[in-house]
Amino acid sequence: MHEEHGISIWFFIGSLLTIYGLIIVIASLPALFSAINQPHVVLADLHAGLWWGAILLLLGIFYVITYWPAKKDQPHSES
Amino acid sequence: MIQLCSCVPAVLLASSSIISLGWADVLIIVIYFAMVLGIGYYLSRFTKTGDDFFLAGRKMTMWIAGLAFISANLGSLELMGWAASAYQYGILAAHWYWIGAIPAMLFLAIVMMPFYYISRTHSVPGYLKLRFGESSRMLAAISFAFMTILMSGVNMFSMALVMKVIIGWDINFSIWVSSITVLIYVALGGLLSAMFNEVVQFVLIWAGALLIPIIGLVEVGGWKGMIARIHENFPHGDYTHLWSTLGHFRDNPMGINWVGIVFGLGFIISFGYWTTDFLVVQRVLSAKDLRSAKMSPIIGAAFKMLVPFIVILPGLIGLAVMPGLVGQDQAAASGAASYNEILPLMMARYLGPGLLGLGITALIAGFMSGMAGNITAFSTVWTYDIYKPIHLALTGKEVDDKHYVSMGRWATIVGIFVSIGTAYLVEHAASIMDYVQALFSFFIAPLYGTVILGMLWKRATPAGGFWGLLAGTLSSIGMWAWVRLDPRALSIIAGSPDAKAMAEDMYRALWSWLICVAVTVIVSLATRPKPEAELVGLVRGCTEIPSEGHLPLVKRPIFWAGVVFAAFIVLQIIFW
């Protein structure tokens, strides 16, 4: 995104992924202790919510820090 | 069926659904809606001029333009329709992502983009005005506006159907909530807002859909395990080869041969859609310079090649783990599950709390990006290519830029409401995919014939362009009507009694393109060409294309186009 628009689009994306990652991790925690929480899910024992949520969370934090709006001199243009 | 969740207001819910939503799922969906509206509101302050509203200020980087380019195409039909088609036809459905997209996107980047960009046109019909005159522009603009609104209605209905099937939302509620959301953020920030949201939506689509094939492959024991299960479930059909079954119409579940795929899909429908459909071209026109404009479709092509992983693969995994799904008509008659619902069924199978909300958000994001793409393209073509020339002809005077921005916002509002009406019409259509394929071949294939001749052949005249476009479009509609009146006509159009509906679309596109080109050439040779001075910036041979010789190899679009094309060839060999 070009500088004129202030906040980078990647900051918005990072924020969203951070929030989503956090929600998914929290929502997946009960399944660690009881399989009854996800009766319809095949391969629930993989606990995909936990590790997928963690990946989104880490990715989101990375983008939020990298494209934090205060860093005006950060090059946001990729070309 | 699973019980309805008390987290969602009961008034919004229908009587049955595949799954229920937990608090985390609902929260994720609500945050998504808040985010897209927030982005629209935030960007509204940057949307002042016509260029801002209709072309995002022509300041987008190659990554924003490239991701928006691909995301605008990742609408409801992409996600739901092709997953269903993969279940119905097997891996042949991947042709629509590979030969049906990659060569055309690279061709747009390397060959056509310089003319679109250097001519400074604001739309594809706008290019036709510069190259062939007002009549060609008006014909293309009106047909495009018509098609776009229908597409938007298809998007809306598909989304509403998915929401009803998965979580039991009432169809009317889904249509109105999604439409009003898109209306607000597009009317506020125009193309800028639509493109930024498309990038967000692109990320969410991957975040929400990628887990399905990953867990699915774990369940079936990897790729080889999946192939073995499909062969076990369907011993009399070949669903797992991309090219080797295309020797004859009867050798594959699609009922098509390689000529239809290579020439009908690969060279006509695909090139027509990716190089002349303003819905996607508009995103690239917003790029900040010519190199970014050329790189955007190449970036889009690289990601497009990967989309089968989240769309086609779930359909194939469905063949392995859920045999017995039937077509829509049979499902309606027997009460069995339809393969049109394969993607939500796979979501219900693999995704737990939170992930389900993310998966549904991915679908909603896909639907909304497609809808926003249609609406922004419609408002631009309506304002610049239909309203502006008519207003000028009637009043004889130019008006200021603000007037057109205002008209663009009104066109957005009206376009949304016409789309809503279309969605209710589509509700009664027998097959959504056939409907859209028919639309493509009516307008897109002949338009591609006109534009490509206009760009590459100096001798093409305004009269040739107009009559070629008209003849191609009418012949396409004529062939479609012929088959509806007499189904035996299909064997004449496709050249085989074994041809099925999909082959009809491919061959109709091929014939309408050939008729368009033939009429354009004949009429052009019989009429007076434009002076070369008037073709500068519009036609190859009359336009100086800026050299990229001074750039290092890794910054040249042609290099990356070569890399993407090589990867495309490797994929064809792997899945042959």
Q: Residue B428: its pLDDT value, please?
A: 67
Higher-pLDDT residue of B373, B336: B373
Within a 10 A sphere around the Cβ of B192, how many other Cβ atoms? 28
| Beta pairing partners, B19 | none
Q: How far apart are the first and last CA of chain B?
A: 39
Place of tokens 């930024």: B196
Best B18, B67, B215 member to test A by mutation, with max A CBs in 10 Å, is: B215
What is the DSSP track for B114-162? Answer: HHHHHTT-SSHHHHHHHHH-HHHHHHHHHHHHHHHHHHHHHHHHHHHHH
DSSP summary character for residue A2: -
Residue B252, token pair as written in the block: 């594959």
Identify all chain A residues contacting B35, using CB atoms and an 8 Å cutoff: 12, 16
Element (H, E) at B386: none
A75 vs A67: CA distance, rounded Å: 9
Q: Is B567 exposed, middle or buried (0-12, 13-18, 19+ CB in 10 A)?
A: middle
Residues 6+ positions from B243 with CB-CB distance below 8 Å: B258, B572, B575, B576
Q: B338 phi and psi, to 5 degrees?
A: -100, 145
Q: Residue B334: its pLDDT value, please?
A: 78
Which residue on chain A is closest to B38 by alpha carbon?
Answer: A12
State mean pLDDT over B75-87.
80
Task: Reduce the secondary structure of B548-568 to three states and give it as a string.
Answer: CCCCCHHHCHHHHHHHHHHHH
Residue B431 has pLDDT above 60, yes or no: no
Most confident of B76-80, B242-246, B377-381: B377-381
Residue B152, token pair as written in the block: 């938007």
The domain spans of chain A are 3-66
Residue B202, token pair as written in the block: 């692109």
Identify all chain A residues contacting B352, using CB atoms and an 8 Å cutoff: 27-28, 31, 37-38, 41, 44, 48-49
Residue B323 has pLDDT above 90, yes or no: no
Residue B22, token pair as written in the block: 């937990």
Q: What is the pLDDT of residues B33-67, one digit of tens each?
A: 999 899 889 988 888 888 888 888 888 899 999 99
- Do residues B58 and B140 touch, judged by C-beta distance below 8 A? no
* Region for B4 from its dihedrals, namely left if φ exceeds 0, alpha if ψ lies in -120 to 50, beta otherwise: beta
What is the DSSP track for B34-57? Answer: HHHHHHHHHHGGG--SHHHHHHGG
Q: Residue B429: its pLDDT value, please?
A: 57
- Do residues B4 and B13 touch, judged by C-beta distance below 8 A? yes
| Cα-to-chain-centroid distance, residue B320 | 28
The domain spans of chain B are 10-574
- 8 Å CB contact of A20 and B28: yes
From chain A residues 13-72, the ones with a CB under 8 A of any chain B CB are 13, 16-17, 19-20, 23-28, 30-31, 37-38, 40-44, 46, 48-49, 52-53, 56
Confidence band, pLDDT 50/70/90 cuts, at residue A75 = very low
Identify all chain B residues contacting A19, using CB atoms and an 8 Å cutoff: 31
Which residue on chain B is closest to A35 by alpha carbon?
Answer: B352
Which residue on chain A is closest to B219 by alpha carbon?
Answer: A43
Under CATH, which number does the domain B10-574 receive? 1.20.1730.10
State mean pLDDT over B193-221.
90
Mean pLDDT across chain B? 85
Residue B75, token pair as written in the block: 């609408």
Of B35, B218, B219, the CB nearest to A16: B35
Higher-pLDDT residue of B281, A18: A18
B78 vs B309: CA distance, rounded Å: 12
Higher-pLDDT residue of B247, B40: B40
Q: Residue B129: its pLDDT value, please?
A: 92
Closest CA to A41 of B202, B340, B359, B76: B359
State mean pLDDT over B137-160.
83
Q: Residue B3: its pLDDT value, please?
A: 30
| Cα-to-chain-centroid distance, residue B534 | 33
Identify all chain B residues contacting A56, using CB atoms and an 8 Å cutoff: 207
- Please report, for residues B160, B172, B423, B509, the alpha-carbon distance to residue B157 in angstroms, rounded to integers and kept in the order given: 5, 9, 5, 25
Q: What is the pLDDT of residues B519-576, one digit of tens each?
A: 999 999 999 999 988 888 888 888 888 888 788 888 899 999 999 999 999 999 998 8
State mean pLDDT over B367-371.
81
Q: Where is average pLDDT lowest: B189-203, B423-437, B446-460, B561-575?
A: B423-437
Q: Percentage of chain B with pLDDT > 90?
A: 33
Residues 6+ positions from B381 with CB-CB distance below 8 Å: B123, B125, B141, B144, B145, B148, B278
Closest CA to A71 of A2, A10, A7: A7
Element (H, E) at B319: helix B308-321
- Do residues B369 and B155 touch, judged by C-beta distance below 8 A? no
Q: Percentage of chain B with pLDDT > 70?
A: 94
Min Cα–Cα distance to chain A from B176, Å:
24
Which residue on chain A is closest to B358 by alpha carbon?
Answer: A20
Give the torsion through C-alpha atoms of B58, B561, B266, B429, to 10 deg.
Answer: -40
Query: How many alpha carbons fall within 13 Å on the CB side of residue B17?
Result: 25
Confidence band, pLDDT 50/70/90 cuts, at residue B123 = confident
Higher-pLDDT residue of B11, B437: B437
Place of tokens 């491919």: B506
Confidence band, pLDDT 50/70/90 cuts, at residue B430 = very low
Q: Residue A5: its pLDDT value, please?
A: 52
Residue B564, token pair as written in the block: 């993407």
- 8 Å CB contact of B211 and A48: yes
∠ Cα B95 B97 B103 (to 5°): 90
B256 vs B82: CA distance, rounded Å: 17
